[in-house]
Amino acid sequence: MRLYNSLTREKDLFIPRVEGKVSMYTCGPTVYHFAHIGNLRSYIMEDILEKYLRYIGYDVTRVMNITDVGHLTSDADTGEDKMLKGAKREHKTVMEIADFYTKAFFADCKKLNIKTPDVVEPATACIPEFIEMIKTLLEKGFAYEAGGNIYFDTSKLDKYYVFNDFTEDDLDVGVRETVEADNNKRNKADFVLWFTKSKFDDQELKWDSPFGLGYPGWHIECSCIAKKHLGEYLDLHCGGIDNAFPHHTNEIAQSESTFGHEWCKYWFHVHHLNTAGGKMSKSKGEFLTVSLLEERGFDPVVYRMFCLGSHYRKNLVFSWENLENAKVAYNKLVAKIAQLKEDPESKISSAALEEGRLKFKNALDNDLNTSLAVTALYDVLKLDTNDRTKLQLIAEFDTVLGLDLIAHAKALGADDKSEENSDIDPELVSYIKERIAARAAAKKAKNFAEADAIRAELLEKGITLVDKREGTEFIINK
C-alpha cells in the first residue's frame, strides 16, 4: 500500500517495522463538547485506514487518547483549559463533563460504524507516565523550568519544524489579542510540559509532582500514552491536519528527545471538513452534530458515504444539498443490492472474486482512494457472475467501507414484501383470515371434511394456504 506521509511529503510504500503487525496511534477528542461532523470525518477516514490494513492482513493495534485535561483554547498553550470552559458552561465538574462527552463521542462513532480502538486511555489516567517523561527531558537538557512551569526547549533540536510547512507565525493562529504572550518561554516555539503557575487559579484538576502542584500540557499526553501501550516505536500516527502543527510537531520533539531515536515512520493527516463559512470548529460554538443529521432525517451512514466520496487529503465542503445527493446515491446502491438473490445452489466464482478484489485493492492501495473504492463496489454489480458471488464481494468490501449495505438491503427487501401485501384489498385479507380461522376451528373439532372444503373454496378463488409451524399463511396466486 502507498500512503501519503506528511513527514516525507511523498506517497510512501507502507512497510511496518515488524512484519505483519502495525502499531497505530490516533489523537482522540477533547471531550468538552459534542464531536462535530468535521472531527468525525477524521475518525471515519482513520477507521477506514485501520480496517483496510486489517483487510490486507495486518495485525493492527490501535491506541487512542481522550483529552480531558491540558488542552488550552489556543493550541499554542494560551487561553483557558477547554475542559474547564466546558464545565463552567454547563455548571458541572470537569470529570462529569469528560464522562458525558466521552460517552457521547463513542455513541456517535457507533452510529457511524467507527470501530472503537483497541486501547482508549484518558489523559488523567496517565499522570505518573507524564511526570516520568518530563523528568527524563529535564535530565537530558531538553526542558527547563521558568516562572514555575516546565517548558520544552525547541532550540535544543536539530530540526523542530519536521513537517516543513510551518513557521513561528503559525503559532499565532487561534491566539486572541486579549491573550498575553508567555514571557517565560526562551523561544517562541517552546511549549509547556507541566503547568504550576497557571493564570487560572480555578483549574479544577491538579496533581502533585516533582515540579510542584499542577497539571500537564496537552502535547505530552500523546507521547506518553503511545509509549505506554505501543512502546518506543510507532508505525503510524493519525489526526486531523490541524494537529500537524503544533501538536504533532511537539509530540515528535518530546518522544524523539526522550528515546534518542526516530519515533514514528508514517504520519497520516485528514484534511478539514468546511462549511461555506470556513473550517468547522467546536470553539466557534456553532457546529453540526450526528444528532442534528438524524433530526434532519439522515441515517448517519449516509454521512459516512458522503465522506467516502472525497479524498481524505482534500478539504471537503459540507452542505445539506451535498448530503442529500449522498443519500440518493446510497439509497440507489442499497436498492440495487436488494435485488440480488442469495442462491445457496450457485457456485462462488473465484475468478470474479479476484477481478472485484483487484479493483478495490488498487483503489485503496493508492493512498486510500475511497471514492474509487466505492466505484469498485458499483462495478461488482456489473460483474459477469452470479448474485451469490456479488453479495460475497459486497459484504467483504463493506468490512472496510462500513456502510451497512447488506443489512440495509435486507431491510429494504422486507419492506418491499410488506408493500406487495399492502397492495391487496384489505377486505379480501380479512375475509381470508376469517376463513383460515374457521378452518382451524374445524380441524380442532376433527371436522376434516369441513377443513378441506374451506381450503378448496379458497383455492378456487386463487388463494393457496400453506400450513407452517407458526400458523397458516396464504399466497394470492397472480
Residues that bind ligand AMP (CB under 6 A): 27, 29-30, 38-39, 41-42, 67, 239-240, 242-243, 270, 272-273, 279-282
Comparison of 67 and 258: residue with beta carbon closer to ligand AMP: 67
Instruction: With H, G, I as helix, E, B as strand and everything else as coil, classify residue 160.
Output: coil
Q: Whose CA is closest to 264, among 464, 17, 476?
A: 17
- Considering CB distances under 5 to 8 angstroms, the limit depending on partner class, which of ligand AMP, Zn ion, none binds residue 209? none
Residue 39 CB, nearest distance to ligand AMP (Å)? Answer: 4
Q: Whose CA is closest to 46, among 63, 26, 70?
A: 26
Residue 261 CB, nearest distance to Zn ion (Å)? Answer: 20
State how far the Cα of 375 lies from the Cα of 381, in Å rounded to an integer: 10
Contact 238, 226 (CB under 8 A): no
Residue 242 CB, nearest distance to ligand AMP (Å)? Answer: 5
- Considering CB distances under 5 to 8 angstroms, the limit depending on partner class, which of Zn ion, ligand AMP, none binds residue 222? Zn ion
Q: Does 27 bind Zn ion (CB under 5 A)?
A: yes
Q: Please state, as a whole number, how many other Cβ atoms lie within 10 Å of the Cβ of residue 365.
A: 16
Q: Does 316 bind Zn ion (CB under 5 A)?
A: no
Burial group, residue 423, by CB count within 10 angstroms (0-12, 13-18, 19+): exposed
Comparison of 143 and 244: residue with beta carbon closer to Zn ion: 244
Comparison of 102 and 366: residue with beta carbon closer to ligand AMP: 102
- Rg over alpha carbons for the chain, rounded to the nearest Å, is 29
From residue 211 to residue 240, what is the string marking binding to Zn ion with x (rule CB under 5 A)? -----------x------------------
Comparison of 282 and 390: residue with beta carbon closer to ligand AMP: 282
Per the structure block, which three cell numbers stand in for 9? 511529503
Strand 278-279 with 316-317, pairing: unpaired
Torsion angle defined by CA atoms of residues 247, 251, 252 and 257, in that order, rounded to the nearest 10 degrees:
140
Comparison of 113 and 258: residue with beta carbon closer to Zn ion: 258
SS3 annotation, 407-431: HHHHHHHHHHHHHHHHCCCHHHHHH
Comparison of 282 and 408: residue with beta carbon closer to ligand AMP: 282
- Considering CB distances under 5 to 8 angstroms, the limit depending on partner class, which of Zn ion, ligand AMP, none binds residue 288? none
From residue 355 to residue 394, what is the string marking binding to Zn ion with x (rule CB under 5 A)? ----------------------------------------
State how far the Cα of 206 lies from the Cα of 212, in Å rounded to an integer: 10
What does the angle CA 451 – CA 455 – CA 457 come to, to the nearest 5 degrees? 110
State how far the Cα of 368 lies from the Cα of 370, in Å rounded to an integer: 6
State how far the Cα of 303 lies from the Cα of 82, in Å rounded to an integer: 27
Q: Whose CA is closest to 7, among 225, 256, 218?
A: 256
Residue 159 CA, chain-centre distance (Å), reads 32
Residue 271 CB, nearest distance to ligand AMP (Å)? Answer: 7
Residue 184 CB, nearest distance to ligand AMP (Å)? Answer: 25
State how far the Cα of 324 lies from the Cα of 309, in Å rounded to an integer: 13
Sign of CA dihedral 161, 166, 169, 174: negative
Residue 247 CB, nearest distance to Zn ion (Å)? Answer: 5
Comparison of 222 and 302: residue with beta carbon closer to Zn ion: 222
**What pairs with residue 12 in β-bridges?**
3
State how far the Cα of 358 lies from the Cα of 360, in Å rounded to an integer: 5
**Residues across the chain:** 478
Comparison of 64 and 391: residue with beta carbon closer to Zn ion: 64
Comparison of 237 and 439: residue with beta carbon closer to ligand AMP: 237
Size, binding site for Zn ion by CB under 5 A: 2
- Considering CB distances under 5 to 8 angstroms, the limit depending on partner class, which of ligand AMP, Zn ion, none binds residue 81? none
Instruction: Select the span of 27-35, 230-238, 387-395, 412-420 touching Zn ion (CB under 5 A).
Output: 27-35
Comparison of 5 and 243: residue with beta carbon closer to ligand AMP: 243
Residue 120 CB, nearest distance to ligand AMP (Å)? Answer: 14
Q: Please state, as a whole number, how many other Cβ atoms lie within 10 Å of the Cβ of residue 373.
A: 22
For the sheet with 143-146, list strands across it.
143-146, 149-152, 191-195, 215-216
Comparison of 184 and 281: residue with beta carbon closer to ligand AMP: 281
List residues near Zn ion by CB under 5 A.
27, 222
